[in-house]
Structure 1
Amino acid sequence: MISLILISLILFLLGAQFLKLQWKSRGFPPGPTPFPIIGSLWRINFRADHGNLKKLAKLYGNICTLWLGHKPMVVLYGFQAVKDGLTTNSEDVSGRLQTYVFNKMANGKGILVSNGLIWKHQRHFGIGALRKLGMGNKGMERGIQTEAHCLVEFFRDKDGRAVDPSFPVVHAVSNVICAVVFGHRFSQEDETFRQLIEAYNCIVAFGNSYLYYMCEVFPWAAEHLPGPIKKALFSCDFVRSFIRQEIKRHRERGTIDEPEDFIDFYLEQIEKTKNIPNSTFDEDNMVQSVFDLFLGGSETTATTLRWALLYMVAYPEIQEKVQKELDAVLSPSHLICYEDRKKLPYTNAVIHEIMRFGSIVLITIPREAVRDTTVLGYRLPKGTMIMANIDSALFDPEYWETPHQFNPGHFLDKDGNFVLREAFLAFSAGHRICLGEVLAKMELFIIFCSLLQTFKFTLPEGVKEVNTEVVFGSTMKPHPYKLCAVLR
C-alpha cells in the first residue's frame, strides 16, 4: 500500500513537472519536448555533434530550444542565425552561465567563463597586456619564428622517417604562449611540461562529452561519479598548481624595471589596485586568467596545425601550389613574417580554408542572456543560455560554393586575390569574440609557411589512405597519424 502511494506521488510530481516545463517553454523558439529531470537533451543523444545539430535544425529551424534539465538553451544554426544572434544585441548575450562544471573548473574567475565586472576587468587587462607584450607586431613575431625554427629542426632531424607530429606541434605552439605568460619556454624533454599538456588534453576531451552533459543535468550525482569528471577536475588542479609555482618564482625574483611577461604585468596591476575597493585583480583571478590564456592560446592553434599538415598530405596538389607560390615570392633564406601574407594570396587562402574545413570549434562555450532580450524575433528572459553552432556557419551552403570540399578558392576572387568571407566565423563573434585571433593567425601563417618552404609532406611508405574523420571533444581533433617530412 505504501509502495503504491509512493509510486502515485512520484508519478503525480513528474506529471506536474512535465506540465510546468510545457508551460515554461511557451514563447521560446520551437524544439523537442522537454521531460522532467532530463530536459530535451535526449533528442541529441546527450551529444552536441555536427549530425545531431543538423537534424535538429532541419526539424525546428535555424533557432530552436533544447532544455538542459529545466534550463532553456537556445541553439543558433547557420551563418545568419549565428551572426545575428551573437551580434545584434551583443552585450545582452555576453554572459556565461555559472553551471556546475564551469564553477568547478573556474569558480567565476578569469576571462573565459567569468561574468560582470570580473570578466570586463580581466578581459580588458588581458588584451592590454598582450598588446604590450607584442601581440600583432614584431615583438611576438620573433617568438613565433623561434618556435617555427625549432619545429623545422625537429623534422629535419627525422631525415624523412615517419613521425607523429602531434606533440612537437603542440610543443611549438604552447611555447609561444608560455613565453608570453611565463617569460620562458620549455624543452620537449621537460616532464612537467608534458604533464601540463596531458592535463589540458584531459580537460578538452571532457568538454562536450556525454559525461559533461550528464554532469550538468545531474550535478548531485557528478560528485560520486568516478572516471572522466574526477580526472578532469584533478587536471584543473594540477594546472592551477603549476601556475601558482610560476607566480611564486616571479614573486621571489622581486620587482623588475620593465615587466617581461603576463605574470609580471599582473603582479604590477595587483600592486596598483590594492587600495581600490572591490578590485578584481587578485591571485585567484591571475591564476585563472593564465589558465584561460594557455588553453585558448595553445589548444585551438595546435589542433589547427595538426589538421593543416594532414590536409597537405591528403591534398598533395594543393601543397604543391603553396610551395610554388612560396618559391616564387620568397627566397629560401627569407625569415617568414606575418606581413608576407599580403604577397602570398593562395597560401593565405589555404590557411583560412584549413580553419574553415577543419572547423575545430563545433559550438561556442554557451553564453547567457544577462538581461531580457530579443534574439531573432524571440523574446528571451534573463538567464537563457545561447549556444551558437559555429560549424554550421562555416559549412552554410548559402555562403560557400562547395562547403563540403576542401577548396582554397573560397577565399580568392576571380583575379586570385585573397578575400575574407563574412561567413568565416572561426573565432566567433560579438562581445565574446576570441581575444587571441591575431596571435593565432600569426602562428598559423609563420609556422605553416616555414614548414612548407622547407619540406614536402607525404604519407609513410605502405600507407594508402588518409583518415580525415574527427575525434570528438571540446575541439575536433584528427585521429593520430604519421607523416614523412622530406627536405625539398
Structure 2
Amino acid sequence: METLRTILQVVQTQPFAVSAVLGVLSLFFFLFLSLRGLKHSTLPTVPAVPGLPVIGNLLQLKEKKPYKTFKQLAEKYGPIYSIRTGAFTVIVLNSVQLAKEAMVTRFSSMSNRQLSTALKVLTFDKCMVAISDYNDFHKMIKKHILSNILGANAQKRHRSHREEMIANILSQFNEHVETSPTKAVDFRNIFASELFGLGLKQGVGSNVESLYVKELGDTLTKDDIYKILVLDLMEGALEVDWRDFFPYLQWIPNRSLEKKIETIHFRRKVVMEALIDEQKKRIASGKEIHCYIDYLLSEAKELTEEQVSILLWETIIETSDTTLVTTEWAMFELARDKKRQDRLYEEIQKVCGNEKLTEDHLSKLPYLGAVFHETLRKHSPAPIVPLRSVQEDTELGGYHIPKGSQIAINIYGCNMDKSQWENPHWWMPERFLDEKYDPADLHKTMAFGAGKRVCAGALQAMLIACTAIGRLVQEFEWKLKEGAGGEDVDTVGLTTHKLHPLQVKLKPRNH
C-alpha cells in the first residue's frame, strides 16, 4: 500500500514520469503472466492412452461398462490418464486421493456437468439437483429438496412412510413363506415396488395405484407408471449419440435416436403433469398432505411448471433406483455368506433383543453399518460420476489440466484400488470396523461423492438400506436359490443392477 501511495505521489508531482511508471507496471504485469504461464508449462501433461486418428479411444469404450475398461487402463497407465473421445480430451481419475482433489480442492475449476444429448433432453437441460451446473440455480433447488425431502428434519417427518414400507415388504415375504415355503422369492420384484411407492408418497402424498393420462389415452397401472418414470428413463440416459463426440457434425440428422429420446421425454412429461394435476385438485379442495409437490407449489414460486415437474420426478426416480441396487447386493452377499449373516444377526439380537429393529438402533449397530458401506464400496450404484468440464487451466495430481478437458471420476476404480483397499474384490464388512473410520461418516467410500456437490440423498439411502437389511436379517435366515451365486451386473440404466434379480429362500427365525 505504501509503494502504491509513493507511485501516485510521483505521478502527481512529475507528469513526465507517467509513461515510465506505466512502463514499469506493464513490465511487472508481463512478468506475472509469464511466471504464471511458466508454472503451468513446467507441470507434466497427463499420460495419454494411445488411440486412433479422429476417433481416439472410442472403440475401447464400445461396451456399456466403461468403468471396468477405465480400471483396466489404470493398471497400465496409472491412476490418472487421458483418453480421446472424438474431439474431446477426457481425464480419467481412478484413486480416492485424485477424486477428492477434483471434488474438493479443485472444485471451482471443474464444478459443472458435461452431459450427453440424451441427458440434456431427459434432465430438461440440467434442471436436476444431481445434474445441474454449480450455480445459484443449483443452490436454490438443492435447498428446496433438503428442506422438504432429504434433510435431517425432513427425514424425521417422512419416517412413518419408511416404516410402513418396511412393514409391507416383511408382510409380503411372510406371505410367500406361508404359501410357498420351499420356493425362492424374487427379492427385487417386492422391494422395487415398495421403494417406488415410498418415492410417490414423499413426492405426491400417496402410493398411486392407477392414473389416467389423457395424452396417452389410457389409465396406467402402478407398474406402467414405474416403467415410464424409472425404467425407461434409466435406459434412455445411457443412449449415446455419436454426434456428441464430433460437435462439428451436429448438422447430420440422427432421427432414430432423437425420436427414441423424445418419446421417453414426452411420456415422462405427460405422466408427471397428470400426477401434478391430481394433486392440484386435491389442494384446491382444501386437503393438505405435506408432501414435496405441496411444498414446491407453495414455496418455489420462482420455478416454472416444467422445472417443478422435473424436480418432483427427480426425487421419485432417485428414491426408486440406487437404494434398490445397494440393498439387493447387500442381501445377496449376506445370503451367500452364512458366517457374516450370523454375525450380523447376533449383533442385532444383542442390541434389540425382542424389540423390532428401528432407525433408533442404527447408531448402536456398527457391523450393520459396515455391511452397508462395504456393499457401497464393492457394488457402487453409480460407478462413474457424470462428466465434469474444466472451466480454467488447473492442476490435478501434479499434472497440468487444460481448460476444455472433461473429468471422469471412476468410482469403481477408486473402490477397487489395491493401494487403498486390501483384497478389494472380496466383500469384507470388517474392514469398516477399523477405528480409522468415523462411524457417523456416510462418505467412507466415494459412493456419495464429496465436497459441495456431495449427494443430497446420502442420509435417506443409509436410513432405508440399513433399516431394511437389519429387519430382513432379524426376521429371516437368507439362503440363495441353487445356481444363483453369480455376480454379473447389468449397467443398462447407468446403475449396477445384478444381471438377474436376487432369488432367495427364506426361513423365519425363532425369536
For the aligned pair, the TM-score class normalised by the smaller chain equals 0.7 to 0.9
Shift of 1:151: 0.2
1:351 and 1:444 in contact (8 A); partners too: yes
Rounded to whole Å, the distance in 2 between the matches of 1:372 and 1:130 is: 37
Rounded to whole Å, the distance in 1 between the matches of 2:448 and 2:260 is: 28
Q: What is the percent sequence identity of the aligned residues?
A: 21
1:411 and 1:421 in contact (8 A); partners too: no
Rounded to whole Å, the distance in 2 between the matches of 1:404 and 1:421 is: 21
Rounded to whole Å, the distance in 2 between the matches of 1:446 and 1:28 is: 47
Report what 2:58 is aligned to. Answer: 41
The alpha-carbon distance between structure 1 residues 99 and 37, as it changes in their structure 2 partners (threshold 3 A), is farther
Shift of 1:401: 2.3
Rounded to whole Å, the distance in 2 between the matches of 1:184 and 1:37 is: 52
Report what 1:122 is aligned to. Answer: 141
Q: Deviations over 1:120-177 (max 9, x none)?
A: 322222222225794343x222211110000000111111332211121111222222
Report what 1:249 is aligned to. Answer: 278
Shift of 1:305: 1.4
Shift of 1:471: 1.5
Report what 2:267 is aligned to. Answer: 238
Q: Does 1:65 align with 2:77?
A: no
Match of 1:153 among 171, 195, 203: 171
Rounded to whole Å, the distance in 2 between the matches of 1:440 and 1:173 is: 11
Q: Secondary structure at the match of 1:110?
A: coil
Rounded to whole Å, the distance in 2 between the matches of 1:126 and 1:416 is: 28
The amino acid of 1:64's aligned partner reads Y
Shift of 1:422: 6.8
Computed over aligned residues only, the root mean square deviation of the Cα atoms, in angstroms, reads 3.0
1:346 and 1:418 in contact (8 A); partners too: no
TM-score, scaled relative to structure 1: 0.83
Match of 2:485 among 459, 466, 482: 466
1:136 and 1:439 in contact (8 A); partners too: yes
Rounded to whole Å, the distance in 2 between the matches of 1:416 and 1:207 is: 35
1:259 and 1:265 in contact (8 A); partners too: no
Residues 64-213 of structure 1: matches in 2 within 5 Å? 64-108=81-125, 109-115=127-133, 116-130=135-149, 134-137=153-156, 139-159=157-177, 160=181, 161-187=183-209, 191-199=220-228, 200-208=230-238, 211-212=239-240
TM-score, scaled relative to structure 2: 0.79
Unaligned runs of 5+ in 2: 1-42, 212-218
Match of 1:262 among 279, 286, 292: 292
Shift of 1:420: 5.2
Report what 2:321 is aligned to. Answer: 299
The alpha-carbon distance between structure 1 residues 188 and 425, as it changes in their structure 2 partners (threshold 3 A), is farther
Rounded to whole Å, the distance in 1 between the matches of 2:309 and 2:413 is: 34
Report the structure number with the largest CA radius of gyration. Answer: 2
Rounded to whole Å, the distance in 1 between the matches of 2:505 and 2:262 is: 37
Rounded to whole Å, the distance in 1 between the matches of 2:391 and 2:281 is: 41
The alpha-carbon distance between structure 1 residues 284 and 258, as it changes in their structure 2 partners (threshold 3 A), is same
Q: Deviations over 1:261-318 (max 9, x none)?
A: 11111111344x4xxxxxxx11111111122222222210011111122112211221
Rounded to whole Å, the distance in 1 between the matches of 2:56 and 2:436 is: 52
The alpha-carbon distance between structure 1 residues 378 and 47, as it changes in their structure 2 partners (threshold 3 A), is farther
The alpha-carbon distance between structure 1 residues 417 and 83, as it changes in their structure 2 partners (threshold 3 A), is closer
The alpha-carbon distance between structure 1 residues 291 and 315, as it changes in their structure 2 partners (threshold 3 A), is same
The alpha-carbon distance between structure 1 residues 486 and 369, as it changes in their structure 2 partners (threshold 3 A), is same
The alpha-carbon distance between structure 1 residues 385 and 265, as it changes in their structure 2 partners (threshold 3 A), is same
Shift of 1:408: 1.0
The alpha-carbon distance between structure 1 residues 186 and 248, as it changes in their structure 2 partners (threshold 3 A), is closer
1:145 and 1:447 in contact (8 A); partners too: no
Report what 1:282 is aligned to. Answer: 304
1:76 and 1:82 in contact (8 A); partners too: yes
The amino acid of 1:477's aligned partner reads H
Q: Does 1:352 align with 2:373?
A: yes
Rounded to whole Å, the distance in 2 between the matches of 1:428 and 1:412 is: 21
Rounded to whole Å, the distance in 1 between the matches of 2:120 and 2:167 is: 40
Rounded to whole Å, the distance in 1 between the matches of 2:339 and 2:456 is: 34
The alpha-carbon distance between structure 1 residues 132 and 259, as it changes in their structure 2 partners (threshold 3 A), is farther
Residues 471-482 of structure 1: matches in 2 within 5 Å? 471-473=490-492, 474-480=494-500, 481-482=502-503
Residues 291-440 of structure 1: matches in 2 within 5 Å? 291-334=313-356, 336-413=357-434, 424-440=445-461
Report what 1:15 is aligned to. Answer: none
The alpha-carbon distance between structure 1 residues 67 and 294, as it changes in their structure 2 partners (threshold 3 A), is farther
The alpha-carbon distance between structure 1 residues 203 and 28, as it changes in their structure 2 partners (threshold 3 A), is farther
Q: Does 1:54 align with 2:71?
A: yes
Rounded to whole Å, the distance in 2 between the matches of 1:421 and 1:291 is: 25
The alignment covers a number of residue pairs equal to: 447
Unaligned runs of 5+ in 1: 1-25, 274-280
Q: Secondary structure at the match of 2:48?
A: coil
Match of 1:32 among 30, 39, 49: 49
The alpha-carbon distance between structure 1 residues 310 and 429, as it changes in their structure 2 partners (threshold 3 A), is same
Q: Deviations over 1:378-397 (max 9, x none)?
A: 34344432110011222222
Q: Does 1:442 align with 2:466?
A: no
